[in-house]
């Protein structure tokens, strides 16, 4: 039996980066989705979205995701800022296609 309802597969990978200072993060080529998690002890902001720190030391704070639908490529910016004080630390995960899907 021939199954014509198969979902096409698209090869992807992820890149994980941590940042401890204000910066504009370079968006990976063919980026499909982004996840940002505050792992520090001060408030972080990504594109103006506030991410509060963890309530307990060693915990994980707030996070936000910019998920892409199948075939979408993220062309936005990722502007990272922190509130004043020591303890800035954010983890950013970018999911990207290994080749242009369209």
Tens digit of each residue's pLDDT, the chain (102 residues):
566 678 778 899 999 999 999 999 999 999 999 999 999 999 999 999 999 998 887 788 999 999 888 889 999 999 999 998 899 999 999 999 998 655
pTM for this entry: 0.87
pLDDT of residue 85: 84
pLDDT of residue 96: 96
pLDDT of residue 12: 94
pLDDT of residue 57: 77
Smallest CA-to-CA distance from 80 within 26, 18, 23, 19 is with 23
Q: What are phi and psi of 17, to 5 degrees?
A: -135, 150
DSSP 16-75: EEEE-S-EEEPPPTTEEEEEEEE-SSS-EEETTEEEPPPSSTT----EEEEPPPTT----
Distance CA 8, CA 23 (A): 36
Distance CA 61, CA 50 (A): 11
């Amino acid at each position: 039996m021939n199954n014509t309802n198969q979902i096409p597969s698209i090869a992807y990978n992820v890149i994980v980066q941590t940042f401890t200072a204000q910066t504009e993060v370079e968006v990976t080529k063919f980026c499909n989705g982004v996840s940002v998690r505050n792992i520090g002890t001060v408030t972080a902001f990504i594109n103006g979205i506030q991410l509060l720190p963890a309530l307990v030391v060693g915990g994980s704070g707030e996070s936000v995701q910019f998920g892409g639908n199948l075939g979408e490529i993220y062309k936005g910016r990722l502007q990272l800022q922190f509130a004043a004080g020591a303890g800035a630390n954010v983890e950013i995960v970018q999911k990207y296609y290994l080749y242009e899907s369209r």
